[in-house]
Every structure is written in C-alpha cells, then in structure tokens.
Amino acid sequence: MAGRRGSRFAGDRGLTARMVMTMFFIGLLYVVLVGVLLAVARGSWPLIVLLVGGLFVAQFWFSDSIAAYGMGARQVTREQAPELHGAVDRICALADMEKPKVAIADSDVPNAFATGRSEKTSLVCVTTGLLRRLEPEELDGVLAHEMSHVAHKDVAVMTIASFLGVLAGVITRVALWGGLARGGRNGNNQAGLLIMLIPLVSAVVYAIGFLLTRLLSRYRELSADRGAALLTGRPAALASALTKITGQMGRIPTRDLREAEPYNAFYFVPAFSSGTSMARLFSSHPTLEQRLDQLRKIGRELGRP
C-alpha cells in the first residue's frame, strides 16, 4: 500500500488488500452484533445506536492517548531526549513525513510502538529498556519500522479492528444487566431466546474479529520491516535490533512481560514469543525467523548482506 502522498516508504498492495478485507468483515460483524441487539431491544434502539457510536468515536479519537496512558508513556522534548528526537528527525526527513509526537515509557522491556489515526495525531514511543540496549543504527531501524505503520495507516485500521472486542463485551453487559431483558422475565419466550443468543453472538463476533486482527497484524509487521529496511538502506541494522531485543526478552521478569502483553499488536516485538504452531496462529507477530529471512533477502537485493 502506498503511504500518504509524498511519503517515501515503499508501497505494499498486499497490505492494502488485507486492510480492506479486514475492514469489510469487521464492518459486517458490527452489523450482525448490532442487529441482534436491536432484535432483542426494539424499544431501546436509540440507546444502542448512541452507545455504539459513542464508543467508536471515543476509541478512534482517543486511541493514541489511551495507548500512551496504558504504557505509562510521557512525551519528551528535544532538550530532554536529544538523541531520540534526532533519530526521529532523520527518519522523517528520509520518509518526507510530518514529525510525530515523541514519547518514552519507563520500562525495562525493550520495545517501541506507534499510535494515532493520522500523521498529525501520531505518537512514537520507545521504552527506556530499548534506548539502553540499541546502537544508533539499530534504533533508526526500529523507528523507521514504527513510522512505516503510520505512513501505511495500518495503525488506524488496527485501532478500529481491535475496538470490536471492546464493543462486544460492553454491549453484552448493557444488554444483560441494563434492563433489556425484561421481555424474557415477563414470559416472552421469543425475547428470552434472543437474549440468550447475545453472549453467544458476542463470543463468535469477538473470536472472528480476534483472528482477523491477528492475521492482519502479522502481515503488517513484515510490511513495516520491509518498508524500514528499504527506507534506511540498512536491513542488517534492523535484523540486529530484532535479534537483540528478542534475545533480551528472556531476561525480563515475567510480571513485566505480562503487563506489556495486551499491547502486543502494536509493539515492535511481542512480549511473549510463540513457540508452538497453535500459538503462532494467535500471535500478533510473525516469527523471528520469518522476519530475519525477509531482511536477508532485502539485503541481497540491495547488495548489502
């Protein structure tokens, strides 16, 4: 998919197609979930529409703030983090992109993530653990990877897609605990059956949405690796960063990794690695071997083994 007009990140039609398909099926799931709720609570449809719309707007417009707050990220000025700002400036100049907000999270987990629905609202955050471990060229590769997500707009797509699970859970609670089940308690068998379907439909919607976002997430990570390697011209530096971070993860306390795990889909590398084939199916990232193999091929193409 081509990034915004003027961005020098390599295009990726495969990513574009996958994002379009993901959004189509996510939209279809929204319709199914809301349709079931409307069938159960015909007289409460204004409340349902208001709730769905309100949650969606809140998630989409405040996703960057929510993610930053959840990770304990704090925005830093050029005076507070001159080397980090300098690295972000280099990547923005190479990519011909607007500079995102720059943040640091106080965590020993070596990682980075990007959020934001557009370049103007984007935020790139790195952890203190990442800054301590990476050399300047490796840091450039990681930042280019994160900026590729912003340029390709897959951050916004992932934000919308991940919202489905939140919506399914919240609306199920409202439907079951908010007085929408009066028909079932009053002996209306049809309404009672529909009410019983709400948790089932919500679970199915959540499961399908989860798998769709995982499939997209794995591909977008490979796409971001490719975009970063081609932009910087140093795939070996990105491969070194990946290898170093993945190796260091084993030394991080399990408690810290579990705190970071909910943000796996947005992180540079997952907090927990996926060893088995079943775990890989649900993983938000491709395997390290897949990522390194792609970077080696790009290195050969560029004449830089």
HEC string for the chain: CCCCCCCCCCCCHHHHHHHHHHHHHHHHHHHHHHHHHHHHCHHHHHHHHHHHHHHHHHHHHHHHHHHHHHCCEEECCCCCCHHHHHHHHHHHHHHCCCCCEEEEECCCCCCEEEECCCCCCCEEEEEHHHHHHCCHHHHHHHHHHHHHHHHHCHHHHHHHHHHHHHHHHHHHHHHHHCCCCHHHHCCCHHHHHHHHHHHHHHHHHHHHHHHHHHHHHHHHHHHHHHHHHHHHCCHHHHHHHHHHHHHHHCCCCHHHHHHHHHHHHHECCCCCCCCCHHHHHCCCCCCHHHHHHHHHHHHHHHCCC
The residue that leads in pLDDT, 272 or 190, is 272
Active site residue 259: no
In the predicted structure, residue 172 carries a pLDDT above the cut 70 = no
In the sheet that 101-105 helps form, which strands lie side by side, from edge to edge? 73-75, 101-105, 123-127, 112-115
Structure confidence at residue 34 (pLDDT):
72
HEC string for 6-38: CCCCCCCHHHHHHHHHHHHHHHHHHHHHHHHHH
Structure tokens at 55: 């949650």
The residue that leads in pLDDT, 196 or 94, is 94
Asked if 137 and 117 count as a contact pair (C-beta separation under 8 A), the reply is: no
In the predicted structure, residue 231 carries a pLDDT above the cut 70 = yes
Other CB atoms closer than 10 Å to residue 277's CB: what's the count?
Answer: 7
Q: Give tens-digit pLDDT for 41-91.
A: 666 667 767 776 776 777 667 766 776 777 788 999 999 999 999 999 999
Separation between Cα atoms, residue 301 and residue 305, nearest integer Å: 9
Half-sphere exposure of 252 (CA within 13 A, CB side): 25
**Can you name the residues that pair with 73 across neighbouring β-strands?**
105
Mean pLDDT of the chain: 80
Categorize the per-residue pLDDT at 238 as very low, low, confident or very high, splitting at 50, 70 and 90.
very high
CA gyration radius, the chain: 21
Annotated catalytic residue, options 135, 146, 259, 261: 146
Closest CA to 71 of 130, 149, 1, 119: 130
Helices 189-232, 82-95: axis angle to 10 degrees equals: 90
Separation between Cα atoms, residue 257 and residue 161, nearest integer Å: 24
pTM flag (> 0.75): yes
- Highest-confidence range of 203-212, 214-223, 246-255, by mean pLDDT? 214-223
**Can you name the residues that pair with 113 across neighbouring β-strands?**
125, 267
First to last CA, the chain: 26
Structure tokens at 240: 């070194």
Q: Residue 163: what are its φ and ψ, rounded to 5°? A: -65, -25
Q: Confirm or deny that 149 is annotated as ligand binding.
A: yes
Helices 189-232, 288-302: axis angle to 10 degrees equals: 30
Q: Confirm or deny that 137 is annotated as ligand binding.
A: no
Q: Give tens-digit pLDDT for 103-151.
A: 999 988 899 998 877 788 889 999 999 999 999 999 999 999 999 999 9
Q: Confirm or deny that 145 is annotated as ligand binding.
A: yes
Categorize the per-residue pLDDT at 2 as very low, low, confident or very high, splitting at 50, 70 and 90.
very low
Lowest mean pLDDT segment, chosen from 10-19, 115-124, 163-172, 218-227: 163-172
Q: Give tens-digit pLDDT for 191-203.
A: 566 666 767 777 7
**Stretch 21-30: mean pLDDT, rounded?**
82
